[in-house]
């Protein structure tokens, strides 16, 4: 932190190799290391400055997924950092406590850059979250859980697993924070897992092998108004959730990625990996556990519009590789919204393929899924939402950043293979 209170981060995008499999070095990319990147953390109201250096040997970008910031700082495909170049975005954090993340966004190559290892978490805190009795000792009872599916061909990552699949790459095992077959010793009665689905295409339905319930406390953009008890939680690529798991002394439980119940028919389920299951992370409780306080009744005050003041409704039809009949064009603005207004967006998957929908700069509220009130886990602040085949999802968003008619933000399918094929559009705030 500078004298003037600016929080500075240095991120170097680099190539290297990582020993995932004993004795074998897999070529990988990372931020400040060979795979994934450091967890960045800042507080609401703080000024953040990042010095990004690109030593990859090819151009890339760093996008702050879920962050509300001016478009030139967003790290989308218009903010390329050339090979050997640098970029120094800065902004003031102006949103509630949340689990966000960062990853590259070069047009047409996002899947490749993320899958090689470029991703990290960006945690935001605020005064309210600091006072709540939630597990909050990072790395002790508050753990980042970056979930990715991978496949190996000998020592190399096998990137070619996508043959015949409409969704993109699907691996045959999962890693947490870049580790295969991970386990974690737990020394507290309650542990908070910040789950990030950083897989490029796979939708994970998380649950424990003993079917225990857990408390969902936050979604993409921050805390729910109150905790929700769940046994299963589905996250599509790019989505996050914070859950609190209660452990008994000496017990073990395994977080698993389970077969989906996502409104998929037999074939699309099969070809989107929906029948697969994986052990994701084993938790091993110590023989004595430190007591943790009970969860509070009230958590956050989600700051998302409720649709009542929407000034217009727009429709987005998803049909691989098209959104509203067009593929991404860097030189075309698809949508122009008015600063300080709210809108309702209606997203529909029309091609029998699973998709999701992510909007840069904002957190939105899901108003309905197929005309029905969304389930509790979809009522909090969101920036990415799963759109099952033939589903219709209505969301309310407010655009309250600075007007900038020159620099677009993106909305897109976060199945990165779909994004790279052109399922992305650009909006400007005027
Ligand atoms: Cu996580 Cu446009 O990205
Ligand atoms: Cu994003
Ligand atoms: Cu898609």
pLDDT by residue (tens digit) across 44-57? 999 999 999 999 99
Which protein residue's CA is at the shortest distance from atom 3 of ligand 1? 65
User: Is there a domain that residue 135 lies in?
Assistant: no
Using CA positions, which residue lies closest to atom 1 of ligand 1? 65
Residue 298 Cα to ligand 3 midpoint, Å, equals 35
Report the percent of the chain where pLDDT is more than 90. Answer: 89
In degrees and rounded to multiples of 5, residue 232 shows phi and psi of -135, 145
Point out the ligand nearest to the CA of residue 77: 1
Which atom of ligand 1 has the smallest separation from the CA of 424?
2
Token digits of residue 276: 């697969």
Last residue of a domain, one of 73, 96, 125: 125
Answer whether 229's CB lies under 8 Å from 213's CB: yes
Residue 149 and residue 285 in one domain: yes
Provide the ipTM: 0.99
Tell me: do 268 and 381 sit in the same domain: no
Assess if residue 13 is contained within a domain. Answer: yes
If asked whether residues 87 and 60 sit together in one domain, one would say yes
**pLDDT above 60 for 331:** yes
What is the position in ligand 1's atom list of the atom closest to the CA of 238? Answer: 1
Cα angle 323, 329, 334; round to 5: 60
pLDDT of 263 higher than 60: no
Q: Is residue 96 assigned to a domain?
A: yes
Q: Which of 358, 344, 345, 338 has the alpha carbon at shortest distance from 402? A: 338
Residue range 267-291: mean pLDDT, rounded: 85
Residue 297 lies in a domain: no
Residues 231, 111 share a domain: no
- Choose the final residue of a domain: 59, 91, 125: 125
**In a domain? residue 305:** no
Q: How many domains does the chain have?
A: 3
Ligand 2 mean position to 191 CA, how many Å? Answer: 27
Whole-number Å distance, alpha carbon 3 to ligand 1 midpoint, is 32
How far does residue 166's CA lie from ligand 3's centre (Å)?
9
Mean pLDDT of the chain: 95
Both 285 and 190 in one domain: the answer is yes
Same domain, 354 and 401: yes
Q: Is residue 136 part of a domain?
A: no
Position 269 confidence tier, pLDDT thresholds 50, 70, 90: low
What pLDDT sits at residue 262? Answer: 55
Residues spanned by the domain of 405: 310-429
CA neighbor of 364 nearest in space, from 333, 392, 396, 325: 396
Instruction: Let me know if residue 102 belongs to a domain.
Output: yes
Euclidean distance between CA atoms 71 and 401, whole angstroms: 9
Q: Is 16 helix (H, G, I), strand (E, B) or coil?
A: strand
| Cα–Cα separations (whole angstroms), residue 4 to 44, 89, 377 | 16, 17, 39
Distance 269 CA to ligand 3 centre (A): 14
> Where is the domain boundary, 290, 321, 347?
290
| Position in ligand 1 atom list of the atom nearest CA 384 | 1
Alpha carbon of 392 to ligand 3 centroid (Å): 14
CA angle 396, 402, 405 (to 5 degrees): 95
Judgement on whether residues 15 and 100 belong to the same structural domain of the protein: yes
Q: Report the pLDDT averaged over residues 112-130.
A: 97
Is residue 105 domain-shared with residue 151, that is, in the same domain? no
pLDDT at 266 over 90: no
| Ligand of minimum distance to the alpha carbon of 272 | 3
Give a yes or no: residue 134 inside a domain.
Answer: no
Kindly state whether residues 102 and 165 are assigned to the same domain: no
Average pLDDT over residues 378-393: 96
Q: What is the mean pLDDT of residues 183-200?
A: 98
Pairing of strands 278-290, 183-188: parallel
Q: Based on the fold, state whether residues 256 and 224 are members of the same structural domain.
A: yes
Rounded average pLDDT over 103-118: 97
The band of 136, judged by pLDDT with boundaries at 50, 70 and 90, is very high
Q: What is the mean pLDDT of residues 285-296?
A: 97
Residues 191 and 314 grouped into a single domain = no
Identify which ligand lies nearest to the alpha carbon of 413. 3
User: Is 161 found in the same domain as 269?
Assistant: yes
Written as six digits, the tokens of 52 are 């990004």
Could you give the CA distance from residue 395 to residue 221 in angstroms, rounded to a whole number? 14
| Residues around ligand 3, an ion, CB closer than 5 A | 355, 413, 415, 418
Q: Pocket around ligand 1: residues whose beta carbon is below 6 Å from it?
A: 63, 65, 103, 105, 238, 358, 360, 410, 412, 414
**247's tokens:** 């452990």
Whole-angstrom CA distances from 299 to 96, 189, 408 are: 12, 19, 34
pLDDT score, position 164: 54
Is it the case that residue 273 has pLDDT exceeding 80?
Answer: no
Whether 267 has a pLDDT exceeding 70, the answer reads: no
pLDDT, position 166: 80
Q: Per 3-state DSSP, what percentage of the chain is helix, strand, and coil (rounded to 5)?
A: 5, 50, 45
Looking up residue 66, the CATH number of its domain turns out to be 2.60.40.420
């Amino acid at each position: 932190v500078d004298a003037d209170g600016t929080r500075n981060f240095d991120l170097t995008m680099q190539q290297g190799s990582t020993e995932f499999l004993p004795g074998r070095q897999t070529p990988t990319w990372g931020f400040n290391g060979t795979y994934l990147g450091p967890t960045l953390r800042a507080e609401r109201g703080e000024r953040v400055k990042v010095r990004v250096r690109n030593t990859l040997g090819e151009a890339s970008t760093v996008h702050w997924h879920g962050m509300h910031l001016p478009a030139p700082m967003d790290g989308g495909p218009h903010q390329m950092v050339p090979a050997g170049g640098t970029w120094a975005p800065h902004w003031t954090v102006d949103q509630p406590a949340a689990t966000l993340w960062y990853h590259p966004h070069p047009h047409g190559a996002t899947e490749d850059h993320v899958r090689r290892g470029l991703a990290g978490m960006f945690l935001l805190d605020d005064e309210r979250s600091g006072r709540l009795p939630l597990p909050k000792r990072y790395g002790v009872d508050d753990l980042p859980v970056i979930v990715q599916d991978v496949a190996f061909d000998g020592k190399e990552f096998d990137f070619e697993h996508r043959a015949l699949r409409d969704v993109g790459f699907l691996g045959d095992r999962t890693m947490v924070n870049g580790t295969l077959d991970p386990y974690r010793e737990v020394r507290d009665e309650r542990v908070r897992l910040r789950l990030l689905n950083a897989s490029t295409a796979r939708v994970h339905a998380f649950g424990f092998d003993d079917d225990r319930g857990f408390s969902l406390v936050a979604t993409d953009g921050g805390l729910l108004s109150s905790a929700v008890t769940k046994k299963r939680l589905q996250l599509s690529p790019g989505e996050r959730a914070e859950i609190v798991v209660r452990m008994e002394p000496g017990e073990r439980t395994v977080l698993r990625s389970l077969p989906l119940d996502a409104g998929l028919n037999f074939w699309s389920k099969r070809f989107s990996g929906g029948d697969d299951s994986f052990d994701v992370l084993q938790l091993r409780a110590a023989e004595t556990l430190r007591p943790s306080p009970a969860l509070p009744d009230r958590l956050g005050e989600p700051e998302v519009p409720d649709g009542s003041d929407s000034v217009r409704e727009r429709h987005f039809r998803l049909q691989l590789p098209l959104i509203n009949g067009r593929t991404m064009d860097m030189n075309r603005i698809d949508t122009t919204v008015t600063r300080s207004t709210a809108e309702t967006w209606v997203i529909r998957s029309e091609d029998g393929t699973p998709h999701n929908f992510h909007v840069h700069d904002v957190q939105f509220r899901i108003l309905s899924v197929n005309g029905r009130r969304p389930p509790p886990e979809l009522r909090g602040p969101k920036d990415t939402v799963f759109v099952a085949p033939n589903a219709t999802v209505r969301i309310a968003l407010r655009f309250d950043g600075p007007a900038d008619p020159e620099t677009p933000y993106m909305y897109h399918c976060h199945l990165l293979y779909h994004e790279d094929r052109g399922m992305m559009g650009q909006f400007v705030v005027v």
